[in-house]
Structure 1
């Protein structure tokens, strides 16, 4: 199950339990909408409560990342899991975005907001 929230230039997703293909499709739909109407967006993935993901989610994530390689500025990943930290690092190979892993949500949001504020001021 996922919970999503979004602002003008950011999409936040929190995953609870198993991350399924239906959940990922919901995420994709929201991100595609934001990109279409707002341009480049930032992402915040909260994976601290994720129990796992299905193989079809992994495949869909690879396809989605390749299709949207230039559509993200920054991606913040909230996790304490070393495997997910490594996975976030590998995902940088498919996207132009800067990817950082955090264990504190406030720090992750501050990083995304600081960048957005600095870019808006330029």
Structure 2
């Protein structure tokens, strides 16, 4: 009975490992070199595990459980950090594009304002010169 329970515990641990690896492969993409290497190494480990006797298998799984969980945790943390960096990079590109568009609109707005004020000044000077000519003619 204890052998069966230990076997179920081992199977449970292996199922957790498989699920974690599937999640990592899903995050990195199934065609990435990292995913291929990871899948190959897990396959090799599974073959070695299958070749062990029942007692050795339980001992191996017990020893490797914490190590595997820590390794998978580090991998998932790196993937999360990479995803965060990617989102920061994407948002910084969007921010830069928005800044560029605002700068372009500000430049054209300034040029338009300057042009309109120059035209207005020219109009006023022209009116003043006409008024001066009229005042000279009337004197």
Q: Who wins on radius of gyration, i.e. which is larger?
A: 2
Q: Please state which band the TM-score falls in when normalised by the shorter chain.
A: under 0.3
Higher helix share: 2
Calculate the TM-score normalised by the size of structure 2.
Answer: 0.23
TM-score w.r.t. length of structure 1: 0.26
